[in-house]
Amino acid sequence: MSFDRSRKPTWRQGYRYQYEPAQKGHVLLYPEGMIKLNDSAALIGGLIDGERDVAAIIAELDKQFPGVPELADDIEQFMEVARAEHWITLA
């Protein structure tokens, strides 16, 4: 089954993506705690705004990092994990 890149990810209610100086990186805050995102996840997370679809996020990161093999696959994997962990919804 292929991933539908026309879907628009949004952070679930109660989840907030932000830079956390104490963590020296981007985190995802939620009522029960916090998730520290690695650099790749932080770049993807910074583009999740409820307006861009997955294809637009891939295109934006491809402009920033041209020629990176498997970039689209990595972004799709992040979306699948984020959805499975209930961080995002895909509309």
CB of 81 closer than 8 Å to CB of 6: no
Q: What is the predicted pLDDT for the residue at 63?
A: 97
Strand 16-20 versus strand 25-30 pairing type: antiparallel
pLDDT band (50, 70, 90) for residue 16: very high
Q: What is the pLDDT averaged over residues 53-66?
A: 97
Rounded mean pLDDT of the chain? 96
Q: What is the pTM of this model?
A: 0.93
Domain ranges of the chain: 11-85
Considering the domain delimited by 11-85, tell me its CATH architecture.
Orthogonal Bundle (1.10)
pLDDT bin (cut points 50, 70, 90) of residue 1 is low
Residue from 55, 77, 41 nearest 4 by CA: 55
Instruction: Report how far residue 63's alpha carbon sits from residue 14's, in angstroms, rounded to the nearest whole number.
Output: 31
User: Residue 53's pLDDT band (boundaries 50, 70, 90)?
Assistant: very high
Pairing between strand 9-11 and 16-20?
Answer: unpaired
